[in-house]
Structures are given as structure tokens and as C-alpha cells.
Amino acid sequence: MALRPHRRSMILGALLLLTAAGCSAGDRDAPGERAGGGDGLTVWLTVDSRESWPELVASANARFAKKHPGVEVDVQYQQWTTKNQKLDAVLAGRNVPDVVEMGNSETTNYIVNGAFAPLDPKSFDRSGQWLPALADACRDEGRTYCVPYYAGARVGVYRTDYFQRAGLTHAPRTYPELISSLDRLKKQYGAKDPGFSAFYMPGRYWSAAMGFVKDAGGEMAVEKDGRWQGALSSPKSVAGLTTWKKLLDDYYVGDRAKDNGDQPAVVGQGKVGVFYGNTWEAAAAADVRSGGDPRLKGKFATFAFPGPSGQLLPPFLGGSTLAVPVKSKNQDLANDWIRLFTDRESQKQLVAANTLPNNTVQLAEVAAGGINGPAAQAATRGWVTPLAPGWTSVEKSNVLPEMLERIATGKASVTDAARDADRRIDAVINEH
């Protein structure tokens, strides 16, 4: 159960990590990094914005400067791997950044512990059309504590040359077509090469497997009477996991005890017909910097991955939100900067940078025939991990990957592995 606001403020200091190393000079991405305060505005963004859409940052800052002459905006770029450790450390003090970027699956723990200031969603552009998987991550007890920034949805990625040689004229549009295509690829290439996977799906790839759970109407966890509990052993969840397992058994050749962390490098070896991933992984599979093969450039295309239910497979909707720490001394200015950085003009720039916008209206602006078009289709079915106070503990315990590995390797049946996972989830999911 989420904490009431007055209780949040009482326990914030006790619950946030006090790791001094989190703000050590060795972790800083920019020299002379400082937190907020004074007449300036300090914004923490991840390095994605600097690498993929620096023009958007510059444009928002220029627009902000016209509205607030003399207010300096200091954008500091954070690494995903150290961002939260550093944030925990500064939130325990008084000198905090004014705006922080959060992954949408990271927000709940900070919100229930009182780290972020509430805001009025009506004052932000197109808040009524925010993607639900992003917006829901920002809400608690009827109040909103962050603003959706951008999204990313997984899709099917396939080798166009393999499809053509196998006599396949288009990407799968239905689940039966998907199975038929995989059968053709397996017959064409798998018979000659025992290391060929018609469909690449490593066993610990939890966000892919949970898409099948969602498609079957199942859930990872549900809330009942103010408490959360695991739901992976429900009949619908088991049905989804069973379908996922059959795909592995029929079409995946490879290590079932690994995750998808090196997926572009594996696909780049040329022994994969179809895989499920982010749109950028199509390019990465042909990029030597990711372990891919440059000779494969131009040989990948994407499609909206069909689910067994007859609808698109619901993808885990990754993405980011922007929040204002409750200790910020510049909350009004921070809110105004976020308004500019997330309005329809800024979202248009994100779309131009091959990134999904934060709202359903501008999904239509994503070119249907482009590599991100299928992701825009899939995003409407997007989901995020359970908005439970202890879900961070569930993830840190590797409950889902370990359950899936046991199923994929045959060490446990779907039902037994799911029941064990639910017991592990129940033990920590209600922790604050």
C-alpha cells in the first residue's frame, strides 16, 4: 500500500540510500558537476539525449531562456548505471537537482517514498493523451508526480534476404503467418545449419516472455485489498508462458540460460531469421561497435509482432519520465522547463530522431513505412512492470529471469516454476 504524503516526508531520509560513492568525482559525466540551488536550474538527463537528440535539448533551453531571461540551465548528463545511486545520495541532503530523468519502471519506489513533488498534469501539453504505460508510472493515490518524456516499444526484426530466399513475400501480419514463416525459415536454413535459429529467443529474456503472459490476459502481479501478490501461476499467465516455451522449443537453437544483452552481436553472426527487440537493434546487428557484421547493413526490417490472441503482442514499453525532487528550490521553473521539453513541438523533434513520443496523438506522426512505424503500432498495447512499492526488490532478486531459465532448460514445469516465482514475489513486493 502506498504511503500517505505526511508519512512519506517522515521516512524519506531513512529509506533513500546514503551511499557517498554515488556522488564521487569518478562517477561524474561532466566536470564540475553540481546539484541545484540559487538562480540557476539544474537538469539531470541521461546520456541518451546528448547522443541521440542534442538539438532538442538546445531548442528547449533556448525557448526557456526567452521566457526566463537570466536563468541559467545547467544540463548534466548521467549514465544509466550510476544515475540512481547518485540521486539517492543527493536526495539525502539539501542541494538537489531541479529536474531528473527516470526510467518509467524506476519511478514507483521514489514516488511512494516521497522523493518527488506532485504536479498538475493539466498544465502539460497533451497530458490527456499520454501513453498509459508511461502515465500510470507517474501516478499514486490520484496524484501525478512526473511527466512522460519518450517511449520505446519492441518489435519483430527479420532478415529480408532470408525471407526472399525462402519464398516469403512479406513480414508476418498474424500469429499463424508468423508460425508459417518460421517453419519455412527452419526448413530452408535449419536443415543445413544446426546452429540456425529461425526465431532467436534466449531463456532469460523476461520482457519478451512477459509479453506472451500479457497477451494471454495474465499478469506478473496484482493488487488486492491494498496488497500486492504474484500472479504468474494463474491459468492465463501459465497459458502465456506455455506458448512462449513452445516457440523456444520449436525455433530457438542456442543457450537457454542466457539473456538478450548481446542480442545484436549474436544476430550479427548471421544465423538468425527473426528476433524480437528494439528497433535500434536492427542497425546494431550490422554495426561492428555492437559486435555486429557491417556486411548485414540494409538486410533487416521490422514488423509489429503479432500475438497468439489475434492482437499485437503487448510490448514492454520502455521509456523515460521527468520529475521534480520535492527538495528542489526552483519547482516552478523546473515545471516550466519540463513543459517546454515535453510539449508537442519537442515531441515532434523526438519523432524526427526515430523515437516514440509520449502521447498517442503524435504516434500517428511516426512514418508507418519507417523502421519505427511498427513500434508506434505496438506502443498502443504497451505495458510496464507492476506499480508496486517492492517491485524493485523483485527485479533485484532476478525472480523472472530465474523462473524463465528453469522453464526454458526443462528444470521445472511451467506451473511449478511459476508457483515458486509467485512465492518469491509475495515475500518482497509489498516492501517500501
pLDDT of residue 432: 74
CA distance 12 to 327: 11
Residues in the chain, total: 432
In a domain, 311, yes or no: yes
To the nearest whole percent, how much of the chain has pLDDT over 70? Answer: 91
Residue 390 has pLDDT above 80, yes or no: yes
User: Which of 332, 307, 384, 328 lies closest to 148, judged by CA?
Assistant: 384
Residue 147 lies in a domain: yes
Distance, in Å, from the CA atom of 12 to the CA atom of 88, rounded to the nearest integer, reads 10
Q: Check if the beta carbon of residue 157 is closer than 8 Å to that of residue 300.
A: yes
Banded model confidence at residue 431, pLDDT cuts 50, 70, 90: confident
Residue pair 388/108 in contact (Cβ under 8 Å)? The answer is yes
User: What pLDDT score does 11 carry?
Assistant: 32
Asked if 323 and 397 sit in the same domain, the reply is: no
Q: What integer pLDDT is reported at residue 371 of this predicted model?
A: 87
Question: Which of 332, 357, 376 is the last residue in one of the domains?
Answer: 376
Q: Is residue 400 part of a domain?
A: yes
Alpha carbon 148 to its chain centroid, in Å, reads 12
Angstrom distances, CA of residue 46 to CA of 52, 173, 192, 319, 328: 11, 35, 45, 12, 19
Q: What is d(CA 373, CA 304) in angstroms, rounded to the nearest whole number?
A: 8
State pLDDT tens for residues 225-258: 999 999 999 999 999 999 999 999 999 999 999 9
Closest CA to 353 of 44, 48, 29: 48
Confidence band, pLDDT 50/70/90 cuts, at residue 15: very low
Please check whether residue 382 lies inside any domain of the structure.
no
Do 274 and 185 meet the contact criterion of CB atoms below 8 Å apart? Answer: yes
Report the share of the chain in percent with pLDDT over 90: 88
The stretch 211-237 carries a mean pLDDT of 97
**Could you give the CA distance from residue 105 to residue 84 in angstroms, rounded to a whole number?**
12
Do 395 and 288 lie in one domain? The reply is yes
Q: Are residues 238 and 173 in the same domain?
A: yes
Tell whether 208 and 357 lie within a shared domain. no
Q: Tell me: do 16 and 82 sit in the same domain.
A: yes
Confidence label for 38 from pLDDT (cuts 50, 70 and 90) = low
Half-sphere exposure of 328 toward its Cβ, with a 13 Å CA cutoff? 26
C-alpha cell at 173: 501480419
Q: What's the confidence (pLDDT) of residue 50?
A: 96
Split into its structural domains, the chain has a count of 2
Same structural domain, 95 and 165: no
pLDDT at 295 over 70: yes
What pLDDT sits at residue 23? Answer: 33
Q: Answer positive or negative: Cα dihedral of 334, 336, 337, 343.
A: positive
Same domain for 312 and 174?
A: yes
Place of cell 503467418: 177
Same domain, 167 and 260: yes
Is the residue at 358 inside a domain?
yes
Regarding whether 369 and 357 lie in a shared domain, the answer is yes
Q: What is the pLDDT of residue 19?
A: 33
Q: Which domain holds residue 348?
A: 5-152+318-376
Backbone angles phi, psi at 261, to 5 degrees: -60, -35
Name which residue leads in pLDDT, 20 or 356. Answer: 356
Look at residue 397 in the predicted model and tell me its pLDDT.
96
User: Are 27 and 176 contained in the same domain?
Assistant: no
If asked whether residues 108 and 46 sit together in one domain, one would say yes
Which of 118-132, 257-271, 379-393 bottoms out in mean pLDDT, i.e. has the lowest?
379-393
Instruction: Kindly report, residue by residue over 139-174, the tens digit of the pLDDT.
Output: 999 999 999 999 999 999 999 999 999 999 999 999
The overall average pLDDT reported for the chain is 91
- Amino acid identity, residue 415? T
CA distance 135 to 128: 9
CATH classification of the domain holding 13: 3.40.190.10
Per-residue pLDDT, 31: 33
> Is residue 39 a part of any domain in this protein?
yes
Whether 381 maps to a domain, the answer reads no
The count of other CB atoms within 10 Å of the CB of residue 190 is 19
Give the Cα separation of 96 and 325 in Å (integer): 7
pLDDT of residue 42: 98
d(CA 40, CA 186): 60
Check whether residue 273 and residue 354 sit in a common domain.
Answer: no
C-alpha 160: how far from chain center? 27
Q: Which of 234, 225, 146 is nearest to 430 (CA)?
A: 225
User: What pLDDT was estimated at residue 6?
Assistant: 30
Residue 13 in this model has a pLDDT that exceeds 90: no
Report whether pLDDT(21) > 50.
no
User: Do the domain assignments include residue 211?
Assistant: yes
Give pLDDT, residue 4. Answer: 30
pTM, full prediction: 0.86
Distance of alpha carbon 128 from alpha carbon 363, whole angstroms:
14
